[in-house]
């Protein structure tokens, strides 16, 4: 088995990561080397149960080291990066967009009781990963919440992203920028979602929905890539307790971003199932200010009309 097949990243990427966190991992008495500890952490698979105390300690050490990189590796676009992200989405046909919002389920095993509301299928604990990705599938925001079949809108309102949209909107969403999401999210000034398919949609609205659906798949691709590279995330993550499982998930998101930044891409398994945390349930907006929803719908209508008019002009100019 080749290095890439075993660790699901290039050798040069591995060396880069080791250089970043090697001195943060450390080597305890009778413990593995920094290289061996990182290799062990990357080898964690959904078929492997970690029972060895040394192995578990090594994985926790690597996880903690990677978490120190999270603030700089998983960060909201700003400065030159903001301009590049905005340009990238403009080239995708979404002028003004700076991200795609979505969420996925990750099942974990835990040794402590958390209450029935946290149990998902077959008595597994369920963690919801909400994330925003850019046009390159790099995560710019990650938020974890324990829960069952929670509404995406509810999870959103409990995350830091909600604060970005309200109290920090001028700093995080300058120049009328926005992110896109599916129909399970509310339509807001900073979050544009598709039209509800109630009754007959106009040609403009259908075209707009098709565009958001096509480009919105980016977050699904990002989740699929994350879970294919770190396969323990698409099975059952067993790190003995939910706290460490949550830390490991964020550590995997850090590694995902580093791979993207180093242009270390891999094929996505087309059969991989993406767990949407809402199962296509319509957005729950009862706790959201009506004015915010009205302004969001108005902005969507303006974008829809502009997109349709631009498409007509392109056809006439052909």
| Cβ 164 vs Cβ 191: under 8 Å | no
| Whether residues 87 and 19 fall in one domain | no
Q: Tokens 């957005």 appear where?
A: 283
- CA-to-CA distance for 113 and 137, rounded, in angstroms? 35
Residue with more model confidence, 92 or 50: 92
Instruction: Looking at the structure, tell me whether residues 14 and 91 fall in a common domain.
Output: no
d(CA 307, CA 198): 21
pLDDT band at 199 (very low <50, low <70, confident <90, very high): confident
- Supply the angle between the helices 34-42 and 11-25 in degrees, to the nearest 10: 120
Same domain, residue pair 84 and 209: yes
Give the whole-angstrom CA distance, residue 45 versus residue 293.
43
Same structural domain, 57 and 143:
no
Residue 102 domain-assigned (yes or no):
yes
Q: Give the count of domains, the chain.
A: 2
**What is the percent of the chain with per-residue pLDDT over 90, rounded to a whole number?**
53
Phi, psi of 286 (to 5 degrees): -65, -25
Q: Is 230 found in the same domain as 127?
A: yes
Q: How confident is the model over 150-195, as pLDDT tens digits?
A: 688 999 999 999 999 998 999 999 999 999 999 999 999 999 999 9
pTM for the structure as a whole: 0.88
DSSP state of 232: G
The domain of 60 spans 3-68
Same domain, yes or no: 25 and 165: no
pLDDT at residue 310, rounded to an integer: 73
């Amino acid at each position: 088995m080749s290095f890439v097949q075993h660790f699901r990243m290039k050798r040069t990427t591995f060396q880069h990561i080791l250089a970043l966190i090697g001195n943060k991992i450390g080597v305890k008495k009778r413990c593995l080397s920094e290289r061996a500890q990182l290799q062990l952490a990357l080898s964690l698979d959904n078929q492997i149960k970690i029972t060895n105390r040394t192995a578990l300690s090594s994985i926790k050490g690597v996880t903690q080291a990677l978490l120190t990189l999270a603030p700089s590796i998983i960060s909201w676009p700003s400065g030159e990066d903001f301009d590049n992200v905005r340009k990238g989405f403009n080239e995708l046909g979404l002028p003004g967009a700076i991200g795609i919002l979505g969420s996925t389920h990750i099942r974990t095993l835990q040794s402590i009781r958390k209450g029935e509301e946290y149990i998902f299928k077959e008595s597994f604990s369920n963690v919801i990963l909400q994330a925003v990705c850019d046009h390159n599938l790099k995560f710019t925001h990650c938020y974890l919440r324990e829960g069952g079949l929670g509404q995406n809108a509810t999870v959103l309102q409990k995350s830091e992203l909600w604060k970005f949209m309200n109290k920090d909107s001028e700093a995080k969403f300058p120049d009328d920028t926005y992110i896109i999401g599916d129909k399970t999210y509310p339509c807001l000034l900073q979050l544009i979602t598709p039209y509800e398919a109630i009754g007959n949609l106009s040609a403009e609205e259908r075209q707009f929905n098709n565009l958001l659906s096509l480009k919105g798949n980016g977050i699904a691709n990002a989740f699929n890539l994350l879970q294919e590279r770190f396969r323990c995330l698409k099975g059952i993550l067993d790190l003995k307790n939910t706290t460490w499982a949550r830390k490991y998930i964020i550590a995997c998101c850090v590694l995902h971003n580093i791979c993207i930044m180093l242009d270390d891409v891999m094929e996505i398994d087309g059969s991989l199932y993406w767990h949407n945390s809402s199962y296509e349930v319509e957005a729950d907006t009862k706790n959201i200010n009506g004015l915010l929803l009205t302004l969001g719908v108005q902005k969507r209508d303006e974008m829809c009309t502009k997109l349709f008019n631009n498409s007509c002009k392109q056809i006439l100019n052909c």
